[in-house]
Amino acid sequence: MCLTCLSVHVSHLSLRYVVGTLDLMVAENYVIVYLCAGGQKDKLPEFSWLRECYTTIHHRLRKNLKGFYVVHPTWYIKALITIIKPFISSKFSRKLQFVENLQGLSQLIPTEQLQIPDCVQQYDENLSR
């Protein structure tokens, strides 16, 4: 199996796992935090995968989503989200927010319970220097 095919397969399995987990866990309002931390363009999800994520998530889960925070957004992510906004609902679009650093995230939501990887924290520290 080629690396690209394996990546797509893993992404699809990851999506199924996340949606299944959300369906079991979410009974109330929740937020999603997407940590970019300077991610390379070739390692970011493709438009088709993002669209599949959106359409796969049950209406109840989309309704209970109160915020989708993109932390350390790259130019590519900002452009991609700007391009896809016309294809998603205006309600979901209003929930999308770009957050430049972890301090900005902590002003929006309590971050004490988040498990932020060391590499993301290091990236954030390097930005503030």
- Across 33-42, 61-70, 80-89, 97-106, the highest mean pLDDT is recorded for 97-106
Nearest CA to 33 out of 126, 96, 92 is that of 96
At 2 the pLDDT is 31
Report domain extents, the chain: 3-127
d(CA 82, CA 62): 19
Classify domain 3-127 at the CATH superfamily level.
Answer: CRAL-TRIO lipid binding domain (3.40.525.10)
At 102 the pLDDT is 94
Residue 114 scores a pLDDT above 80: yes
Q: What whole-number percentage of the chain has pLDDT above 90?
A: 14
Q: What's the distance, CA 109 to chain centroid?
A: 15
d(CA 117, CA 35): 9
Q: Mean pLDDT across the stretch 59-75? A: 83
Residue 47 scores a pLDDT above 70: no
Lowest mean pLDDT of 50-59, 61-70, 94-103, name the range.
50-59
